[in-house]
């Protein structure tokens, strides 16, 4: 008969599982801090240092940077998708639309890592992309309600949100701690532009496939996300 230390369900095995779970949470906590401060290009070694684990342990838990990003931002992507449900529940369709846009842009401003996550795509991170798709489908309904209420310009496309998030990410990354609220002015300008107007019609919105490719290229422009 195997001794407890040799049994796959013995005390030693339980200790190993507990240590593995503890290390995983320490790594995720550290990754949230590091990515929030420095974005997705932050060195993996810095995540390991703050988690007080070896780099080998980090890679054993998360073999690729994309694995770590997906696990780190799973909760925020769920919140991002849930926010659209709150917008749909707002009795004022225009207020729901504006509040949602402001909230999502605010989530970008609060976390430099999430700023990048919202403007990139991670094809192998299925759970992360499923939440993104849920949010996108919900936002299309938010848009339809605001248009039906006569408050959102008829040529607005749900793809315009992607463009706004890209622009907002650029402002946030450029202004940093020097002008941390600059993004609010951009969003306020854009919400005014989105409202019903008698101005000239907009140029056509980009095709969905073209925007997706831009988001993929956005990931490729961050070489560190492949390390």
pLDDT of res. 7? 47
Name the band, by pLDDT with cuts 50, 70 and 90, for residue 37: confident
Least confident residue range of 120-129, 130-139, 162-171, 192-201:
192-201
Domains and CATH numbers, the chain: 11-63 (1.10.10.60), 74-226 (1.10.357)
The whole-chain average pLDDT of the chain stands at 85
**Which residue is associated with the tokens 């070896």?**
54
**pLDDT tens digits, 65-82:** 999 999 999 999 999 999
CA 92 → CA 86, 167, 182, distances in Å? Answer: 11, 27, 27
Q: Does the pLDDT value for residue 54 go beyond 90?
A: yes
**pLDDT tens digits, 10-36:** 666 666 677 888 999 999 999 999 998
**pLDDT tens digits, 166-189:** 999 899 888 888 888 999 999 999
Least confident residue range of 52-66, 112-126, 156-170:
112-126
More confident residue, 89 or 36: 89
pLDDT above 90: percentage of residues in the chain? 54
pLDDT above 70: percentage of residues in the chain? 84
Q: Say if pTM beats, i.e. exceeds, 0.85.
A: no
User: Which string of DSSP letters, residue by residue, matches the chain?
Assistant: ---TTTSTTSHHHHHHHHHHHHHHHHHHHHHHHHHHHH-TTS-HHHHHHHHTS-HHHHHHH-SSHHHHHHHHTHHHHHHHHHHHHHHHH-SSHHHHHHHHHHHHHHHHHH-HHHHHHTTS--TT-HHHHHHHHHHHHHHHHHHHHHHHTT-B-TT--THHHHHHHHHHHHHHHHHTTTSTTHHHHHHHHHHHHHB--SSPPPPPPPPHHHHHHHHHHHHHT-GGGG-
Calpha distance 35→37 (Å, rounded)? 5
Name the band, by pLDDT with cuts 50, 70 and 90, for residue 86: very high
């Amino acid at each position: 008969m195997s001794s407890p230390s040799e049994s796959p369900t013995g005390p030693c095995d339980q200790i190993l599982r507990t240590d593995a779970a503890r290390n995983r949470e320490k790594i995720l906590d550290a990754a949230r801090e590091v990515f929030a401060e420095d974005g997705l290009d932050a060195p993996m070694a810095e995540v390991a240092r703050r988690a007080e684990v070896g780099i080998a342990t980090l890679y054993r838990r998360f073999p690729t940077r994309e694995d770590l990003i997906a696990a780190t931002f799973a909760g925020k992507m769920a919140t991002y998708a849930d926010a659209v449900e709150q917008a749909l529940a707002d009795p004022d369709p225009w207020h729901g639309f504006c509040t949602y846009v402001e909230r999502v842009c605010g989530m970008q401003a609060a976390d430099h890592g999430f700023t990048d996550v919202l403007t990139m795509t991670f094809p192998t991170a299925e759970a992360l992309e499923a939440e993104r798709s849920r949010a996108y489908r919900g936002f299309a309904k938010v848009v339809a309600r605001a248009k039906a209420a006569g408050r959102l310009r008829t040529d607005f496309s749900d793809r315009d949100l992607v463009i706004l998030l890209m622009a907002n990410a650029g402002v946030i990354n450029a202004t940093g701690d020097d002008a941390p609220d600059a993004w609010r002015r951009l969003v306020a300008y854009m919400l005014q532009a989105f409202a019903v107007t008698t101005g000239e019609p907009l140029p056509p919105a980009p095709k969905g496939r073209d925007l997706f490719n831009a988001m993929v290229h956005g990931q490729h422009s961050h070489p560190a996300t492949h390390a």
